[in-house]
Chain A
Amino acid sequence: MMGQGQLRFEDISCQRGGRLLFENLSFALGPGDAAVVSGPNGIGKSSLLRLAAGLLMAASGTIQRAGRIALADESLALDRHLPLQEALGFWAKMDGGATGKALALVSLDHLAQVPVRMLSTGQRKRATLARILASCSDIWLLDEPANGLDLASLEVLSQLIASHRASGGIVLAASHQSLGIEQAQDIRLEARP
């Protein structure tokens, strides 16, 4: 099932609240590809990811997607009062993934029984990653995945991205810092006059 993913933007313009964020943006990602969206705050990086996820409509242009999508944005989307494993299980059951393995990959397996609300910022970010891992998706959309991560976790993040690409997955990440992704397309959003 992995390896047939595709994400293609053709002449996309994005408008939010009457303001044009970017226009005529085109790129294409196939199996194994990655792209990093960079640019200053408020330039439309997150909007670009939400466009890719199908949560926003483009003002013009077409977006083609093939394959399952997983979105990791700033919201955790895990029930705060539930133990981490159980909260993750809600999505894993829906997506057909395994929570135990995903938690082990982001080294949160020792916190599996801890309620989600007790997690620290970095741990929440890793829990989001675990949700992505357990979703068995082709296309990963990562919004500032490195925020709040320590050095060891950053290393894990770039390893996970690399192995996802090696198995034919696609990664589209928005970040203002280097993620250590090799041979990634650079999508730079510039400030508009």
Chain B
Amino acid sequence: MKTFLALAARDVRLAYGRGGATLPIIFFLLVATLYPFGVGPDGNLLAKTGGGVLWIAALLASLLPVDRLIAPDMDQGLLDQLAVRGVSEESIVLAKFAGHWLGFGPPLLIAAVPAAALLRLDANMLVRLELGLLIGTPGLAALSVFIAALTAGVRGAGALAGLLMLPLAVPLLIFGAGSLDPYGGSALKLLAATSLLAIAMTPFAAGAAIRAARE
């Protein structure tokens, strides 16, 4: 447990200390700013489609740091050192997941407020969006840690990571965007289920990927 906390705290410090956490937020806000330029300043259209766009932005924002999640630690021998100390790969991944979410989830939830204003989302919609992001971003974080572990030994992993992760994130996106509907309660529950599934799968899948990369 001590090791788990030390690892997660290290990742959070890395995320906030070197400005890594601001990157997803700036990206998120940029998308919200650019979208009206793309479809025109029609308030109704923006309000109707804006929530879905923000969900796509959140998905892409979780992908941004994917090449910095596992690969540097693998290269500099940190993962080997932890393994020598008897720390299981599964708990390393769980700590990485916790650190990654704490590094990008809360800032994203805050950035969603100005972004919603830029896209003319009303207060009810904003509440539903925040609730959905709160439930969905842990799932996105888990998926990006999984993909980060899978692509850690590969050169130019960034593009490959996108190709691998986007299809896996489709269910989160569908239920996330679905939960924006005023009667989207069931979508919210399905979003929670998908998110939990991603979180439950990640430690084992990513742990196996890290072990396989040692060979």
Contacts and interface: CB of A to CB of B under 8 A. Distances in A.
A151 interface: no
10 contacts: A53-B80, A71-B80, A71-B84, A75-B75, A77-B77, A77-B80, A81-B18, A90-B10, A94-B6, A94-B85
Interface in B61-96: 75-78, 80-81, 83-85
B28 to A, nearest CB: 26
B2 interface: yes
A134 B76 CA distance: 19
Contacts of B80: 53, 55, 71, 73, 75, 77
A70 B84 CA distance: 7
Would you list the 6 A-B pairs with minimal beta carbon distance, nearest first?
A: A75-B77, A77-B77, A77-B81, A71-B84, A77-B78, A53-B84
- B interface majority secondary structure: helix
B84 A69 contact: yes
Nearest to A53: B84
A54 interface: yes
Interface in B130-162: none
Interface of B: 2-3, 6, 10, 18, 75-78, 80-81, 83-85, 214-215
- Most interface-central of B77, B78, B80, B81 (chain A CB within 10 A): B81
B77 A76 contact: yes
Interface of A: 16, 50, 53-56, 68-71, 73-81, 90-91, 93-95
B107 to A, nearest CB: 21
A53 B214 CA distance: 12
A14 to B, nearest CB: 12
A71 B78 CA distance: 11
Secondary structure class of chain A's binding surface, majority of residues: loop
B84 A76 contact: no
B188 to A, nearest CB: 39
Contacts of B75: 75
Contacts of A16: 215
Contact of A71 (B3, B6, B81, B214): B81
B89 to A, nearest CB: 11
Q: Which of A50, A54, A69, A71 has the most CB of B within 10 A?
A: A71
B62 to A, nearest CB: 23
A94 B77 CA distance: 16
B174 to A, nearest CB: 39
A79 B215 CA distance: 24
B84 A94 contact: no
Contact of A76 (B10, B76, B83, B85): B76
A75 B214 CA distance: 14
A95 B77 CA distance: 17
A25 to B, nearest CB: 19
A69 B81 CA distance: 10
Nearest to A80: B76
Contact of B6 (A69, A73, A78, A90): A90
A70 B83 CA distance: 11
B214 A91 contact: no
A94 B83 contact: no
A93 B6 CA distance: 9
A75 B78 CA distance: 8
A88 to B, nearest CB: 12
B84 A75 contact: no
Given A53-B84, A55-B80, A55-B83, 13 more contacts: A50-B214, A53-B83, A56-B214, A70-B84, A71-B81, A71-B84, A73-B77, A74-B77, A75-B76, A75-B80, A77-B78, A91-B81, A95-B85
